[in-house]
């Protein structure tokens, strides 16, 4: 558990980061609201759709970040801040210094990342199987260290 002074300092940093994230979210919302997709020619519209997609993706990431920061702030009050949610070991203060809302120690984060990678690969395989069924195209792939290596992409062109 952190000392009182460290808690206060960390709380201040969390609040500052929450403010920043909320400011980004407001900025994204303003941009999305101002963007009229039907203005301009087809290329302008395509660019705006791309911008909108990027802004929406960013919005999702920042919303997630804000949720995590709020959770960390609550943990700070209950004395659970800086304790790995998976193994219960204290999280390295250097890690918390760069990632204020870290909830896992490095070891558990690594395990989690690996698990997510496998889950992602499984989803890719499932998606491929579904697309192959839909299109009748054979897309072969093989597992390699750290990801999936695509052998042949044969999806029909949608353009
Ligand atoms: Zn851990």
Give backbone dihedrals phi and psi of 148, rounded to 5 degrees, phi first.
-110, 135
Q: How far is the CA of 16 from the centre of ligand 1 (A)?
A: 26
User: Given this model, what pLDDT does residue 68 score?
Assistant: 94
Higher pLDDT, 32 or 156: 32
CB 74 within 8 A of CB 5: no
Tens digits of residue pLDDT in 104-159? 999 999 998 888 777 777 777 777 677 667 665 544 444 445 544 444 433 333 33
Give backbone dihedrals phi and psi of 143, rounded to 5 degrees, phi first.
-80, 130
Higher pLDDT, 24 or 35: 24
Burial of 14 (0-12, 13-18, 19+ CB in 10 A): buried
Please check the confidence at residue 71 and state whether its pLDDT lies above 70.
yes
Q: How far is the CA of 154 from the centre of ligand 1 (A)?
A: 42
Q: How far is the CA of 85 from the centre of ligand 1 (A)?
A: 7
Please check the confidence at residue 25 and state whether its pLDDT lies above 80.
yes
Q: How far is the CA of 90 from the centre of ligand 1 (A)?
A: 8
User: Mean of the pLDDT values across residues 61-74?
Assistant: 94
CA pair distance 88, 123, nearest whole angstrom: 30
User: Mean of the pLDDT values across residues 66-71?
Assistant: 95
- Percent of the chain topping pLDDT 90: 43
User: Given this model, what pLDDT does residue 73 score?
Assistant: 93
CA atoms within 13 Å, Cβ hemisphere of 98 = 5
SS3 90: strand
Q: How far is the CA of 108 from the centre of ligand 1 (A)?
A: 4
User: Given this model, what pLDDT does residue 6 score?
Assistant: 75
Q: How far is the CA of 156 from the centre of ligand 1 (A)?
A: 45
Q: How far is the CA of 127 from the centre of ligand 1 (A)?
A: 32
Between the alpha carbon of residue 75 and those of residues 21, 79, 86, 143, the distances in Å are: 19, 6, 14, 39
Tell whether pTM > 0.75. Answer: no
Q: How far is the CA of 12 from the centre of ligand 1 (A)?
A: 25
Please provide the distance, in angstroms rounded to a whole number, between the alpha carbons at the two ends of the chain: 57
């Amino acid at each position: 558990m952190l000392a009182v002074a460290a808690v206060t300092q960390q709380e201040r940093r969390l609040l500052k980061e929450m403010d920043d994230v909320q400011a980004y979210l407001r900025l994204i919302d303003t941009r999305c609201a101002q963007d009229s997709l039907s203005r301009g020619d087809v290329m302008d519209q395509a660019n705006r759709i791309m911008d909108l997609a990027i802004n929406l993706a960013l919005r999702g990431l920042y919303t997630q970040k804000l949720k995590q920061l709020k959770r960390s702030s609550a943990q700070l009050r209950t004395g659970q801040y800086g304790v790995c949610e998976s193994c219960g070991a204290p999280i390295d203060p250097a890690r918390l210094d760069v990632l204020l809302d870290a909830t896992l120690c490095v070891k558990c984060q690594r395990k989690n990342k690996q698990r997510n990678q496998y889950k992602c690969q499984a989803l890719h395989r499932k998606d491929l199987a579904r697309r192959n069924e839909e299109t009748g195209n054979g897309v072969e792939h093989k597992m390699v260290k750290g990801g999936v290596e695509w052998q042949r992409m044969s999806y029909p062109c949608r353009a």
